[in-house]
Structure 1
Amino acid sequence: MPDYFPPEARRLTSHQLDSDVQVQIFRHRSTTRSLTIPAVAEPLLVLVISGAALVEERVDDQAWMAHAVVADDFFLTTSPVPYEMRWQSKSEDEFEVMHVYLSQRLLDLAARDVSVGERTFRLKEVSGGRDLEIAGLMRFLFGEMTSGQRASTKYLQGIGQALAVHLVRRYREETGLTRQAHALPVYKLHRAIEAMRENLDREFNLTRLATDAGMSLSHFSRTFQKATGLAPSQYFIRLRMETARQLLLESDSSIISIALNVGYSNPSHFTQVFKRHVGVTPRDYRENG
């Protein structure tokens, strides 16, 4: 998720338990720029910890759906396609949220535990809902993550399992439809994006990314594009341009130096690619930043 938020969204902390539970906490400022949220295998739970905001969501070019939310409201997202969101803070308090990803493996174990068995199910989409049990469990997670002590893996796993059971019991839909088969797990998406970021000054290497993910080239490319809306090579260029934009505004490095930092040995080619993606030349972007 941090890869999709604007720079002013401050990431406080994160914790990953193998591939079953991932927790991230953010404080947000308002943003009118729409953000693309990836479509991954795991359902995403978002709890509003503090503040109030008007959150808007949409898929493709459909109309925006608006939801006024306050502390302890939650979102449950299982979208099979990337979607856009934006928000406007509505209080003086910081708009603080916690994101929790639960693996499909954890949900399947919960389903067997509560006698759903092998029946195919998917979780409902909830936007701006209110559930005291979800709020309570997620606030236990929040307290553990922000206590100032080293977070207990066993404690976080236990809360993750409790959340999975509650979601299966209360929010499952036994529609007979398949769940997000062959979707990219969030930890593999995050790992691939981190690998791209670490190698922006090098030539794009799809084979290495697919190998690191333990997937074939075609399967990795297909699931990555399904998750982000962009082919891996296109996403790599986007990361290069985002880094270049940040360096242009926040550093005194020359444009040639910035071009080299993001993998372009030819300044003219860098300028062409930058203008195609951003709409102006690097020089104009810096001067009007």
Structure 2
Amino acid sequence: MNAALPAQFAESASVEKSLPAHRLMCSADLGWRSLLARHYADPAEAEQFTTTPTRDLLVVTVTGGRYTIESRQGRTWARRHYRSGAIGVTAPGHSSTLRWRSLSHEPMRSLHLFLAAGLVEDTVEEFRAARLSSPVLPDALLLRDPLVEHLAHRILRAMEDKAPALYADSLAQALVVHLLYGPDAHPSRPAGPAVRGGGPGGGLGGGLGGKALRQVIDYMHDHLQEDIGLDELAAQVHISKFHLLRRFAEATGTTPHRYLTELRTTRAAALLATTDRSVLDIALECGYRSPGRFAAAFRRHHGMTPTDYRRLRADRSAGEMP
């Protein structure tokens, strides 16, 4: 699995060597570019250990069990009670000296999310460019935030489902933005409203203009078979991933991931109705690596399985014959 690890996460991957935990799952071989996710089974008790600092922002979410965790601060220890949904955040370059013990017989589980340094740095720059107050990277032994908890569980589900990079990178982007600009932040607002649609030369001033939007959508059409990520889409119009997410939503009312899924399932429906190619063959052409993921996406958009859709269309065509 480490052979497929993206180079930017090599430092964060080494943090595992200092953890008294057993890895259950890892996103290293999924092609995700903005985060490294690892799910661990934690021991009932951990003696004092010190984590390894990295350039990435680390978010740890408890997914099972209850325990008391302590963090050494100088000569004293700060104590917090953790249960499912509790969150700890370690800022880039920081390390922690920790110890813990279980408070129940329930197996202890935790999800570790390393948010890429490049993503965090780009997002900070976007805040500054928008004339928002300088964001402060969080560093907390215990954080309670329903949105962070929800995003963490969505990422865990995405790892279980082997979700594409576009979806995982979108979740990572949302998580970073929220941590920098969440309910506890009070930045000043930028002067003047954004202009929906932008100008004729690509329209990148306040929204994703017609020309730029067409470039992004054309790229999706031309690469349906591939695992398209936010990096590739943003590169087509020379803006950051943060700008792309925000401006694509302003222009279309949806996210790039949902738009791409709509294109893929629409294309699949056309192939099911007009060809006798196998469902697997159609799934691969439309960018799905497994029939299961394809069937789930198709059902969400068309209300039935690909096989049922093909049968329904065939029955309708037969009924229209003279």
Q: What is the TM-score normalised by the length of structure 1? A: 0.53
1:74 is matched with which residue?
87
Number of residue pairs matched by the alignment: 169
Aligned AA (1:4): S
Greater strand percent: which structure? 1
The secondary structure found in structure 1 opposite 2:158 is helix
* Cross-structure match for 1:91: 104
Match 2:65 to one of 44, 51, 55: 51
Structure 2: segments with no counterpart, 5+ residues: 1-14, 188-322
Alignment of 1:93-242 (within 5 A): 93-114=106-127, 117=130, 121-147=135-161, 150-170=162-182
Q: 2:163 aligns to what SS in structure 1? A: coil
Quote how far apart the aligned CAs of 1:22 are: 0.9
Give the SS at the match of 1:151.
coil
Say if 2:75 is the partner of 1:62: yes
Q: Distance in 1 between matches of 2:169 and 2:94?
A: 28
CA drift at 1:47: 0.5
Secondary structure in structure 2 of the residue aligned to 1:162: helix
Q: Higher relative contact order at CA 8 Å, sep ≥6: structure 1 or structure 2?
A: 1
Structure 1 residue ranges without an equivalent (≥5): 175-289
**Aligned-residue identity in percent:** 20
**Matching residue of 1:20:** 34
Residue of structure 2 in register with 1:237 after alignment = none
Aligned CA RMSD, in angstroms, stands at 2.5
Q: Secondary structure at the match of 2:181?
A: helix
Alpha carbons of structure 1 residues 44 and 67: separation in structure 2 relative to 1, 3 Å? same
Q: Deviations over 1:85-138 (max 9, x none)?
A: 111111121111101111232123333545664875431222222101001111
CA contact (8 A) 1:122 1:173 kept: no
Residues 198-235 of structure 1: CA deviation (Å, up to 9, x unaligned): xxxxxxxxxxxxxxxxxxxxxxxxxxxxxxxxxxxxxx
Asked if the contact 2:127/2:134 (under 8 Å) is kept, the reply is no
Contact residue 39 and residue 81 of structure 1 kept, 8 A = yes
Q: Secondary structure in 2 aligned to 1:64?
A: strand
Residues 30 and 79 (structure 1 numbering): CA distance in 2 closer, same or farther, change over 3 Å? farther
SS at match of 2:177: helix
State which structure, 1 or 2, has the greater radius of gyration over its C-alpha atoms. 2
